[in-house]
A and B are shown apart, each in its own frame.
Chain A
Amino acid sequence: MLDDQQLVDRKVQSKEAKIAARGVNVHYGVTHAIKDVDVDIDHKTVTAFIGPSGCGKSTFLRCINRMNDTIDVARVTGDILIDNENIYDKKVDPVQLRAKVGMVFQKPNPFPKSIYDNIAYGPRIHGLAKSKADLDEIVEKSLRRGAIWDEVKDRLNAPGTGLSGGQQQRLCIARAVATEPEVLLMDEPCSALDPIATAQVEELIDELRQNYSVVIVTHSMQQAARVSQKTAFFHLGTLVEFGETGQIFTNPQDERTESYITGRIG
C-alpha cells in the first residue's frame, strides 16, 4: 500500500542525466534479448528496473558496465553514454569503465579472502591508496558506508565468506563503493536475503543515493516502490514505461505496466 503523498515528496531534485542509453539492442546468439531501449538515468537517484523474469532488465543492467563483454555470444549495439561519453566507443577500456561503474550481484560473492582484503582489493589494483594508513582509512570508510563496520571492525582478518548472507551482501556493497564509483549497479541485491537483511540493504541504498546514482534491478515491486525515485518497466525485452516511481505505481500509462503491477502478468 503506497502512500501517494510520500511518493510525491520523493520527486527527484537532480535533473542532470548521468546515463543516457540510445537504441540499445542486445542479442544472445539468435535471441534478441533487448529491443531498442532508450532511457535516461539521473544522477544521485535510485532507478529501479522491474519486470517479469526473462524480460531483459538484468541484461540491460549488465550493458551499463559492459559485463556482457565477458559473454562470448552476447552482442550489444546502440549507444550508452555516461557523462556524455559513449562507453561502447572503441577507445573505451571496459576495465577502466568498471572502476567508474560499480556492481553488486544477485548472489553475495565475497572473495574467499579476509574482510579487509575484500575491500582493499579494488583500491589496491586501481592504486587509490598511497600507504597502508590510506588503505586502512579507505577500508574503514567503505565498511561504514556499507553499514557493516560495527559488525566486522573486530575481525577484519576473518574470511569474508564466514559472514551471514546479509552481511556478505553489505560487504559486497562496501567493496563496490571502495573504488569510488559514480554509478552503482545492483542486480537483485536482496533476492538471497531475509526480510531483516533486506531492510538493512534498502536503508543502505537510500543513503548511497547521496553520492551515487544507483540502478537496481528487482523482482519485488514493493522494494522498487520503497527505494527508487524512478522506475522502468521492462517486458519481453522492450522498455514499456519509464517515469517517476510514484506515477508508475499509481497511474501507469501503459496497460501492460498496469497488468504487471496489479499482478495479472508476470
Chain B
Amino acid sequence: MTDASAQPQTSKHSGSLLEQDARTRRRNAKEARFKAYGIAAILVGVLALIVLLWAILSNGLPAFQRAIVQVDMTVTQEEFDAAEGTLFKTKEYEKLFVTALSSQMMAAGIDANFEGKALERLLGKVGGTIRAYYRENPDQIGEVVTFDLAAASRIDRYLKGSLKREDIGPDNRFIQPEDFDVADAMREAGLLKQVFDWNFITGVDTGVDNPGGAGIGASVLGSFFMMIVVLFLALPIGVAASIYLEEFAPKNRFTDFIEVNISNLAAVPSIVFGILGLAVFIQFMHLPQSAPLVGGLVLTLMTLPTIIISTRASLKAVPPSIRDAALGVGASKMQSVFHHVLPLAAPGILTGTIIGLAQALGETAPLLLIGMVGFVARYPDTFLGGLEGPNSAMPAQIYNWAARSDPVFTEKAWGGIIILLVFLLAMNIIAIILRRRFERRW
C-alpha cells in the first residue's frame, strides 16, 4: 500500500452529531447576531417612519378643517334697497347680519350682545361678503339664505386646540378673552362648527391678511402642467435613447462613454439642473420666467437619466432567447424589438417612468432658481396659459408657506405635505398596479 495509509488518520468529524463543536457554535452565534442587527436596523427604519408620519399627520391634518359660522338670514327687498342707499353700504349689511345672528343665538338660549368690534374679531368684515352675495343673486332677496362664513384665524386655531385661552392677554387687539366665551357658546348652539376645508385643496394662495383662505389648488395645477411636460418629453426621449443604446448601438468606447455619462447625470444635484435651466431656457432662449413649461423642461433633464437607466435595465431583463426567436423566424431587428422585447419590458419602463415622475414632482431646488416660488393668487385661464403663465408647484408652495411667520401658514405647509405625499403615494400605487397587470411570464 501507499505511504498515506501508514499514518493513522483521525477524522476531523469524529465527534457526535448530537453535540455542536466549538466552531459550529461560533458560526451559529455569528448568524444569530447578524439577524439581530438586521431586525434592529428594520426597527429603526420603521420607528423613523412612524415618527415622520405622526409628525406630518398631527401637524397637517388640522389644515384640512376650518371653523365656520353658519347663520340663516333673510334680507327683504326694502332692507336691500335701504342698505344700497346709504353711504357705508357694508356697514348696513353687517347690522342686518348682527340682528340675524343675535336672534338665532337668543333662540338657542345664549345671551350675547354684539358690538361691531367683537363681530370683527370673530368673523372679520362680513358685510362685503353678504352684499356681494345679494348683488349677484338678487332672486334670493326675501328668501332664507344660509351663510357659511369663515371664522377668524384665531378662533379657528382655538377650535383646533393650537391656541389656548391662557395665551391671550387682555390687551390683545385681535382677540379678547370674552370672545372665547362667545365662541364656546356659539359652538354649543351649533352656529360655530368645524367643516372640511375644500378651499385648501382647490383654492389659491392668499396674502398675510387672510392666511386661513390659502389653498394649494393652483400649485397642484402648476405641478400637473410640469408633469405633463416631463411625461411628453422625458418618456419618448428616454425610451428611444435606451432602445437605441441597448439594442442597436455598437458596443464601443463612444457608447461606453455615453453610458458612463448617463449614470453621472443621474447623480448630478438638482440645483445644478436649475441653474442650467435658468441660463439656457430663460436667459438664452427667453422662455417666460416662473412658467411650468420651463419647470417641466428642467425636470425633464433631471428625469431623463432615471428613465433611461430603468428602461435599459428592463430591456436587459428580457431573455435573449425571445430576440433569437423573433430573428429566427425572419423578423427584422426593429420588429423583434417592437413586437416582442418592448411589450415584455413595458412594465419595467412604466414603473421607472412613474418613479422618475414622482421624483420630479417632489423636486424643489431647481424651481427656486427658475422663479416658480412666486405668489400665485389665480388659476390659469387656458391650457397654454397654464404652461407658460407664472405658477408655482406643490413643493415650492410648501417651502413658501413654511417661510411665512403666521402659524396658520405653517399649518398649511404641513397640510400641503400631506397632499404632496398623497400624490406620490398614488403614483407609486399606479406603478405597482401597472407592473402587476402587464407582467408576463416566459
- Bound pair (A, B): yes
- Given the known inter-chain contacts A109-B322, A121-B339, please indicate yes or no for A96 contacting B328, CB distance below 8 A: no
Using Cβ atoms and an 8 Å threshold, which residues of chain A touch B323?
Answer: 70
CB pair A125 B325 closer than 8 Å: no
B327 within 8 A of A: yes
Contact of B442 with A112 in the complex, beta carbons under 8 Å: yes
B441→A112 contact, CB < 8 A:
yes
A122: B residues at CB distance < 8 A = 329-331
A49 to B25, CA, bound (A): 55
List chain B residues, Cβ under 8 A from A104.
Answer: 328
Partner of B328, one of A67, A107, A125, A161: A67
A103 at the interface (CB under 8 A from B): yes
Per-position 1/0 for A4-30, Cβ under 8 A of B: 000000000000000000000000000
Contact: A126 with B344, CB < 8 Å? no
Q: Which residues of B contact A105 (CB under 8 A)?
A: 321, 324-325, 328
CB-contact partner of B327 in A70, A110, A111, A179, under 8 A: A70
Cβ of A99: which chain B residues have Cβ within 8 Å of it?
329-330
In this assembly, does A199 line the interface, its C-beta being within 8 Å of a C-beta of chain B? no
Contact with A along B11-50 (1 / 0, CB 8 A): 0000000000000000000000000000000000000000
Q: Across the interface, do B330 and A67 meet the contact criterion of CB distance under 8 Å?
A: no
- The docked-state distance in angstroms from the alpha carbon of A111 to that of B322 is 6
| Nearest CB of chain A from residue B132's CB, rounded to whole Å | 63
Q: Is A158 an interface residue (CB 8 A)?
A: no
A178–B323 Cα distance when bound, in Å, is: 18
| Other-chain residue from A70, A111, A161, A179 in contact with B340 (beta carbon distance below 8 A) | A111
Check A179/B325 contact, CB under 8 A, given A111-B340, A112-B344, A161-B441.
no
B335 at the interface (CB under 8 A from A): yes
The answer to whether B332 touches A95 (Cβ under 8 A) is yes
Give the contacting residue for B330; candidates A107, A110, A111, A126; CB below 8 A.
A126
Please measure, in the bound complex, the distance between the C-alpha atom of A179 and the C-alpha atom of B331, giving whole angstroms: 11
Report whether A125 and B440 are in contact in the complex, using a CB–CB cutoff of 8 Å: no
Number of interface residues of A (CB under 8 A): 27
Q: Tell me the minimal C-beta distance from A172 to chain B in angstroms.
A: 7
From 287 to 325 in chain B, residues with beta carbon under 8 angstroms from any chain A beta carbon are: 319, 321-325
A89 at the interface (CB under 8 A from B): no
**B319 contacts which chain A residues (CB < 8 A)?**
109
User: When the two chains form their complex, are residues A72 and B250 in contact, meaning their CB atoms are under 8 A apart?
Assistant: yes
Question: Residues of B contacting A110 with CB < 8 Å?
Answer: 325
Distance in angstroms from B29 CB to nearest chain A CB is: 44
Cβ–Cβ < 8 Å partners of A166 in chain B:
none
- B315–chain A nearest beta-carbon distance, Å: 15
A109–B204 alpha-carbon span in the complex (Å): 57
Contacts of B335 in A (CB 8 A): 125
The answer to the question of A248 belonging to the interface, with a C-beta cut-off of 8 Å to chain B, is no
Asked if B173 is at the interface (CB within 8 A of a chain A CB), the reply is: no
Contact with B along A67-83 (1 / 0, CB 8 A): 10010100000000000
Interface centre among B250, B328, B331, B440 (most CB of A within 10 A): B328
B317 smallest CB distance to A (angstroms): 13
Closest to A66 in B: B327
Q: Is A175 an interface position by the 8 A CB rule?
A: yes
A102-B332 in contact given A109-B322, A161-B441 (Cβ < 8 Å): no
In B240-282, the 8 Å CB interface with A consists of: 250-251
Instruction: Let me know if A98 and B328 touch, CB within 8 A.
Output: yes
**In the complex the two chains form, what is the Cα distance from A193 to B335 in whole Å?**
30
Chain A 105-144 residues near chain B, CB threshold 8 A:
105, 107, 109-112, 121-122, 125-126
Distance (whole angstroms) from the CB of B330 to the closest CB of chain A? 3
For B340, the chain A residues whose CB sits under 8 A away are: 111
Given A72-B251, A105-B325, residue A98 in contact with residue B330 (CB < 8 A) = yes
Given contacts A95-B332, A125-B335, contact A109 B327 (CB under 8 A): no
Taking CB atoms, residues of chain B closer than 8 Å to A98 are: 327-330
Most chain-B Cβ atoms within 10 A of its Cβ — which of A96, A107, A121?
A121
| Contact yes or no, A109 B332, CB < 8 A | no
For A109, the chain B residues whose CB sits under 8 A away are 319, 321-322, 324-325
Could you tell me the distance in whole angstroms from the C-beta of B434 to the nearest C-beta in chain A?
17
Residues of A within 8 A of B442 (CB): 112, 161
Looking at the assembled complex, report how far the CB atom of B284 sits from the nearest CB atom of chain A, in whole angstroms: 40
Quick check: is A65 within 8 A (CB to CB) of the other chain? yes
Please, how many angstroms separate the alpha-carbon atoms of A209 and B246 in the complex?
39
Q: A72-B250, A105-B321, A112-B441 are in contact. Are A67 and B344 (CB under 8 A)?
A: no
* Distance of A172 Cα from B324 Cα, bound (Å): 12
Interface string of B423-442 (1 = CB under 8 A from A): 00000000000000000111
In the complex, what residue of chain A is closest to B324 when comparing beta carbons? A105
- Cβ of A239 within 8 Å of any chain B Cβ, yes or no, is no
Given known pairs A72-B251, A109-B322, A125-B335, the reply for A176 and B440 (CB within 8 Å) is no
B253 → chain A closest CB, angstroms: 13
A126: nearest chain-B partner, CB-CB: B330
Residues of B within 8 A of A (CB): 250-251, 319, 321-332, 335, 339-340, 344, 440-442
CB pairs A–B below 8 angstroms (21 shown): A65-B328, A67-B327, A95-B330, A95-B331, A99-B330, A104-B328, A105-B325, A107-B321, A109-B319, A109-B321, A109-B325, A111-B340, A112-B322, A112-B344, A112-B440, A112-B441, A122-B329, A125-B329, A125-B331, A126-B330, A176-B329
A-to-B contact residues, CB < 8 Å: 65, 67, 70, 72, 95-96, 98-99, 102-105, 107, 109-112, 121-122, 125-126, 161, 172, 175-176, 178-179
Q: A67-B324, A104-B328 are in contact. List 16 more A-B contacts (CB 8 A).
A: A65-B328, A72-B251, A95-B332, A98-B329, A99-B330, A103-B324, A105-B324, A109-B322, A109-B325, A111-B322, A111-B326, A112-B322, A112-B441, A121-B326, A125-B335, A178-B329
